[in-house]
Structure 1
Amino acid sequence: GINFIDTAPDYGVSEERIGRFISHRRDQFYLATKCGCAYKQHDDHLEVIHEWKPDVVQRNVELSLRRLQTDYIDLLQFHGGDAETLKNAGLIDQLLDLKEAGTIRLVGISSKIPDLADLIALNVFDAFQIPYSCLTPEHHDLITQAAESGAGIIIRGGIAQGGPDAEIQRPALNDVWGSAGLDAILPEGMLRAELILRYTLTHPHCHTTIVGTCNPEHLNQNVAAIEAGPLPDDLYEGIRDRVGIALRVV
């Protein structure tokens, strides 16, 4: 079943809802949230920003524990940041201290190019959250590098950044789908969204993937796609080849 829940202090009321509905079954779920989240008030709106300061991290942790109605966090992730900034601000040591105290179980980071390689080289993270899909494959080798460091790999954007009939429409990625001619190799009866999700899961170092939805039908389709398992090798490599060519000309 689904037992990994990813959230953040700046995802609206997400943490409160998670706490309300699953705190009584806490041992059945792995809860991952984030830190470095702050807010800047403007005249007409509240802006979400990221600040790499110890007091911001501490406030995030305390509020997340309260909202999630738990006394520990399975995985606390920096919500971005680069290696030099996080080290110089003492934030990595701060999270390691929280881990030692049992407040958090694992230390992670949500990151991407150009910061990811330097963060992997620190060799301190238990998990990396990295964007990846068949239409946004630029992190493919870095995912392998991160996994070979001993870290767990959480893929984000495996559906939302997928393009056609994904839940978030992104015209530029739909163009990649068309340029790559993926409809020509889409197996009969398979939805595009299923192909995209199963492609993500086929990466040999994808340990879990974040798949958000507001639609129960989509949720059922996503679960069915996951249960169908990885794509056949020839289809996976065919998609990689076609998208690689398309991205050089798009």
Structure 2
Amino acid sequence: MRRQELDRRQATGAGWSRREFLQKTALAGAALAVGATAGGASGSGGSELPTRVLGRTGARVTILGLGTAPIGEARGDLAEAVKIFSEVIDRGVSYVDTARIYGIAEEALGQVLATRRDKVFLVTKCWTDSGQRAQQMFDESLRTLKTDHVDLVHIHNIGNKNLDKVLAKDGILEYLLRQKEAGKTRFIGLSGHERPPHFVKMLETDQIDVVMNVMNYADRNIYDFEGTVLPECRKRDIGVVAMKVYAGIKGGFPNHRKGWVGCNTPPERMGQALAYALDLEGVHVANVGPFTMEQAIQNVELARRYKPLTADERQDLLAFGRELAPTLGPRYGPVA
């Protein structure tokens, strides 16, 4: 059955449908029980989302983050985005991740956060290596989000940036350090899908507080951020956020980002996939971008019921990931 499903998705390039998601994720949710991990999660009888301290930032955040790219970029429905983002935050998610290039995401959050800013750890990103361009993007983000500060700014997709420019006097890192001193951001981070060595070099500056990169049971066989970047983060007590935990984007990006496929995790395995990321030593948050309200709510419930994988569950999931990886390949960009 596993091989047949892999063959089907390889042939079609398709992820799991909304109907499959709704029918099968209940199985994953039912298989999970409320729990906490040695990594520092704390729940409250299943009514509250577990939280962890985000490394050296000292900020306590929920283990589930709200990713805003799928709704912001692909759907473009402002009213629906406001509705979904509001629902997720009202259900207790405190870590909210966005970016200037995520379509209407920041605009929607600007409406949502008017009455919820103090409830969230707000993250945005600047897609550039230039300090001047970063200033333009960050100023626009603050205006659109209708706030005078964020909690974290990532250098967006550091893997495809020129590090010499990033680290230059007129580069983005120096600019963000000035914004940190000015109180416009509390912390500076890196995000990205490719070239783990770029992350390692940037961590050596000792100016990075948080890292977000691809970590899931399949891409560990391709990019292996778990084996290259995560140990360096642990050494430095860097906050770590895992993304693409379902080995893709749930719902995908219809007619967008050619070559990027949708979610590759069978619905009944989604709880395990989330647990894999949260079980990694040094990971504090799993950032997941829903495409629909149903997916958003299901993500919250899976996180609420999270408990570590058993040895047998982990072994089985990793075996599935090894089979899946060759059908995916380095789709996010170069490995080195």
SS at 2:278's partner residue? helix
Normalising by structure 2, what TM-score? Answer: 0.59
Q: How does 1:235-246 map to 2 (within 5 A)?
A: 235=312, 237-239=314-316, 241-242=318-319, 246=323
SS at 1:10's partner residue? coil
Q: Deviations over 1:8-64 (max 9, x none)?
A: 11111111110111222211111100113xxxxxxxxxxxxxx42222111111111
Instruction: After TM superposition, give the deviation of residue 239 of structure 1 in Å.
Output: 4.0
| Matched AA of 1:107 | I
Q: Which residue of 2 aligns with 1:154?
A: 241
Q: Deviations over 1:99-143 (max 9, x none)?
A: 011011111111342422212222210101111111111111222
* 2:284 aligned with 1:204: no
SS at 1:31's partner residue? strand
Q: Is the 8 A contact 2:122 2:152 kept in 1?
A: yes
Give 5+ residue unaligned stretches, structure 2.
1-91, 254-259, 328-336
SS at 1:191's partner residue? helix
Q: Kindly tell me the number of residue pairs found equivalent between the two proteins.
A: 220
Distance (whole Å) between structure 2 residues aligned to residue 172 and residue 21 of structure 1? 27
Q: Deviations over 1:207-228 (max 9, x none)?
A: 1121111222222221221122
Distance (whole Å) between structure 2 residues aligned to residue 3 and residue 70 of structure 1? 16
* 2:165 aligned with 1:85: yes
Normalising by structure 1, what TM-score? Answer: 0.78
Inter-CA distance 247–72: structure 2 relative to 1 (3 Å threshold):
same
Distance (whole Å) between structure 1 residues aligned to residue 181 and residue 313 of structure 2? 41
* 2:252 aligned with 1:168: yes
Give 5+ residue unaligned stretches, structure 1.
37-50, 178-182, 184-189
Distance (whole Å) between structure 2 residues aligned to residue 249 and residue 55 of structure 1? 40
* 2:190 aligned with 1:113: no
Distance (whole Å) between structure 2 residues aligned to residue 171 and residue 19 of structure 1? 29
Instruction: After TM superposition, give the deviation of residue 65 of structure 1 in Å.
Output: 0.7
Instruction: After TM superposition, give the deviation of residue 248 of structure 1 in Å.
Output: 8.4
The CA RMSD measured in Å over matched residues stands at 2.6
Q: Which residue of 1 aligns with 2:4?
A: none
Instruction: After TM superposition, give the deviation of residue 244 of structure 1 in Å.
Output: 7.0
Inter-CA distance 4–248: structure 2 relative to 1 (3 Å threshold):
closer
Distance (whole Å) between structure 2 residues aligned to residue 196 and residue 148 of structure 1? 25
Q: Which residue of 1 aligns with 2:225?
A: 139
Q: Is the 8 A contact 1:159 1:193 kept in 2?
A: yes
Q: Is the 8 A contact 1:134 1:239 kept in 2?
A: no
Q: Is the 8 A contact 1:135 1:161 kept in 2?
A: no
Distance (whole Å) between structure 2 residues aligned to residue 72 and residue 123 of structure 1? 22
Q: Which residue of 2 aligns with 1:215?
A: 292
Q: Is the 8 A contact 1:75 1:105 kept in 2?
A: yes
Instruction: After TM superposition, give the deviation of residue 160 of structure 1 in Å.
Output: 5.3
Inter-CA distance 237–73: structure 2 relative to 1 (3 Å threshold):
same
| Matched AA of 1:200 | A
Percent identity of the aligned residues?
A: 25
SS at 1:122's partner residue? coil
Q: Which residue of 1 aligns with 2:140?
A: 63
Distance (whole Å) between structure 2 residues aligned to residue 245 and residue 79 of structure 1? 28
